[in-house]
Structure 1
Amino acid sequence: MDPALSAILLGFVLGLQHATDPDHLVAVATIITRERRFTDGALVGVLWGAGHMTTLTVVGALIIGLKLTITPAVGSGLELAVAGMLILLGVLRLRDAVRGLAAVPAGHMVADHEHGGGAGVVHSHPHVHGSDHAHEHPHVHPSRFLTALGLRSGWPAGRALLVGAVHGLAGSAAVSLLVLATLRTTASAIAYLLIFGIGTIIGMTLLTAVMAYPVALALRFRRARQALGFCAGIGSIVFGLAYGYTVL
């Protein structure tokens, strides 16, 4: 087998393995704890992988094609950006968990549900305060796709896509150096980056599918939902601080 082809195929395997990096798993797990449906949780992995692949391939191709040199200081700065992102994800997750405690009285809680009318249909559910006061609040269910993208929370773009892009940017320097050491032509190097990215998408999608199922089951219960939110937020903050400390 041609050595270049062997190296490119190896890139797919390394991409699968790359998805298991601890900082990747912490970030994605923090996002998944918001998703009450298995399909939404699995979609997080696809979006993270797409964001990761995009920046990794584009920036990596520029580094290889223009023969740019990435200094250790720049590499460390990108890793610190990842640490800061993990801390921010944790803070936002804690904020959402606290809002969930304060904003939804027990009498207002209704089971997670769907409606034949589809997403975006405004409707109401009755709930009771005490024995003699019942009323309704209208609400709307956003589409699953927009929910997984993070648009429900007011982010201008998908959380998973953005987080994956930052991870891909941080990893582009190291992966490009590896490619330059094994492949001689620009075309084969870019092919390696693409195959590596595809491997990362598949790897993260499989991992998120495994994580999403038990999370979706747990989120049916209010106490479990609260506990997951606080644990995910605190875990992401602590890991981000530790990760940043190792970079400094």
Structure 2
Amino acid sequence: MIPANAAPLAIALLGLLLGMRHATDPDHVIAVTTILSRERRLAVAARIGVVWGLGHTLTVLIVGAAIIVFKIAIPARLGLAMEFAVAVVLILLGIGAAASLVLKGASRMRRGSSHQEHLVVHAHAHEHDGAMHAHPHVHAGSHEDTDAMHHDHMIDVDALPAFAARRPLLRSFAVGLVHGLAGSAAIALLVLSAIPQPLWATLYLAIFCVGTIIGMGLITTAIATPFMVVSRQASWIRQTLVTGSGLLSFGFGLFLAYQIGIVDHLFSTAPIWIPQ
């Protein structure tokens, strides 16, 4: 593919489509699925995918453009180490999903052990987007606590949706950074082999990254929709989905770690790295 003889529109379209295809790589989908499996809002789930794509784009553009422009050679061990970081992230995401489930179970057990306490049900008025409405909720305490206006609250997730959304978005961005770092060398070398001119290659890389952002946004929306529809039927279904996605992430992370560390000899004297 020679840019001087090819239509710029065709090059842009190809980069966009390949970027969207890149978003469907198994490690990408598994990582994002593990993060969004806990979400109950489709808009937040879609933003998780877009934010993942932004993190991925940042490292791909920085590292990839440096490789293209300055012809930087990536040592085999460094290339494998960047890919091994993805395996570590997948394992940590899986462990995090399992730990979250255990903490929820322990919290329910503690609440169950305090069944003798008097339950106070009341509502507080909150303003969302200029409209006032009330959130009924329950407090455990004595009869003297029935005055709804005089007691302290823990963080109300319904009243503070932005606070609840920050952590998954930050987590998604960080995971995207790691995935972009792992794939940047392979993507840049592939682009450079097809487009020798640095300017065109860098432009193609940027379009490729835009396609990845779009693709991941569409994928997370497509995955999150059935997740949320099914999880509304029963809480145990939601817990099963969270646990299953966590176990899948953990297992796939272990597989990648074995493949990179043992089969590709990351920790030996002669590592084998084939960018792909």
TM-score w.r.t. length of structure 1: 0.83
Cα drift, residue 143 of structure 1: 4.4
What are the residue-to-residue correspondences of 1:38-117 with 2, within 5 Å? 38-104=42-108, 105=111, 117=127
| Alignment partner, residue 190 of structure 1 | 202
State the percentage of identical aligned residues: 40
CA RMSD for the aligned pairs? 2.9
2:245 matches 1:232: yes
Distance 1:7 1:26, change over 3 A: same
| Alignment partner, residue 140 of structure 1 | 156
* Residue type of the alignment partner of 1:173: A
2:128 matches 1:118: yes
> What is the rounded CA distance, in whole Å, between the counterparts of 1:12 and 1:193 in structure 2?
9
Answer yes or no: is the 8 Å Cα contact 1:90–1:234 preserved in 2: yes
Cα drift, residue 219 of structure 1: 3.5
Between 182-191 and 163-172, the greater mean CA deviation after superposition: 182-191
Larger Rg: 2
Cα drift, residue 122 of structure 1: 11
Distance 1:91 1:4, change over 3 A: farther
2:235 matches 1:222: yes
Distance 1:128 1:214, change over 3 A: farther
Answer yes or no: is the 8 Å Cα contact 2:126–2:135 preserved in 1: no
Cα drift, residue 124 of structure 1: 6.1
Secondary structure of 1:117 counterpart: strand
Structure 2 spans left out of the alignment, 5+ residues? 116-124, 262-276
Distance 1:9 1:149, change over 3 A: same
Cα drift, residue 31 of structure 1: 0.2
Cα drift, residue 242 of structure 1: 0.7
Answer yes or no: is the 8 Å Cα contact 1:44–1:205 preserved in 2: yes
Cα drift, residue 123 of structure 1: 6.7
TM-score w.r.t. length of structure 2: 0.75
Cα drift, residue 245 of structure 1: 1.5
| Alignment partner, residue 210 of structure 1 | 222
Secondary structure of 1:223 counterpart: helix
What are the residue-to-residue correspondences of 1:22-37 with 2, within 5 Å? 22-37=26-41
> What is the rounded CA distance, in whole Å, between the counterparts of 1:40 and 1:194 in structure 2?
25
| Alignment partner, residue 3 of structure 1 | 6
Answer yes or no: is the 8 Å Cα contact 1:82–1:170 preserved in 2: yes
Cα drift, residue 7 of structure 1: 3.6
Answer yes or no: is the 8 Å Cα contact 2:126–2:134 preserved in 1: no
* Residue type of the alignment partner of 2:6: P
> What is the rounded CA distance, in whole Å, between the counterparts of 2:138 and 2:23 in structure 1?
44
Distance 1:125 1:143, change over 3 A: closer
> What is the rounded CA distance, in whole Å, between the counterparts of 1:212 and 1:11 in structure 2?
26
